[in-house]
Amino acid sequence: MKQKILFLFMLLPSLTFAADLRGRLGVGATNQLATDLPALSFKIQQSKTFALGGLLGFKSDEDNTLYGIGLKAYRIIFDEPQLNFYFAGMLATQTYLDNEDDVKNGYQVDGTMGTEFNFTGLESIGFSFEFGVSLRTTDPDHGRSIQTLGDNFLKAAVHFYL
């Protein structure tokens, strides 16, 4: 019975008490790619309960070019003043170097729960942290892997909302 109530709670729109970010574009940084490639991040709040985001990172030098690009969807499940709790899903494709320094393609699928918070008087800056599970094919030693993850706000994301 508890699972059914929790499931219904997640599907119903919640009352919004947190900073109203609907229609505002957040731009910032994240380090959530499995290859540890720093990425530019964006997030736009579509409604009180849904946001869409993306990330793009690249590194190019005389030897090779590495990149990562991904899309992320957020479902806000609970909010408080200065705080949103959410479920998120991310799908990313990226390149990485294998053991022979050849460039290979891989993917990453993350399912996480997290929160984005801001400080009173600084509603335009959002700090996120997340935890969950990741399926990855970017490990040159192990191929496909599944692992738990926990990202603090320095790794998950920091966004400045325009």
Q: How confident is the model at residue 8 (pLDDT cuts 50, 70, 90)?
A: very low
* Residue 117: per-residue pLDDT: 92
pLDDT at 12 over 60: no
pLDDT (tens digit per residue) in 91-104: 999 998 888 888 88
CB-side neighbour CA atoms (13 Å) of 63: 5
Domains of the chain: 2-161 (2.40.160)
The pLDDT of 27-37, averaged and rounded, is: 92
Q: What is the pLDDT of residues 98-154, one digit of tens each?
A: 888 888 899 999 999 999 998 888 888 999 999 999 999 877 667 788 999 998 877
Residue, of 148 and 81, whose pLDDT is higher? 148
CA dist., res. 77 & res. 128, Å (int): 15
Query: For residue 98, what are its two tokens?
Result: 């294998």
**How far is C-alpha 79 from the chain's CA centre?**
18
Name the percent of the chain lying above pLDDT 90: 53
- Kindly tell me if the per-residue pLDDT of 10 is higher than 80: no
The closest of 75, 68, 64 to 41, measured between CA atoms, is: 68
Give the count of beta carbons closer than 10 Å to the beta carbon of residue 83. 15
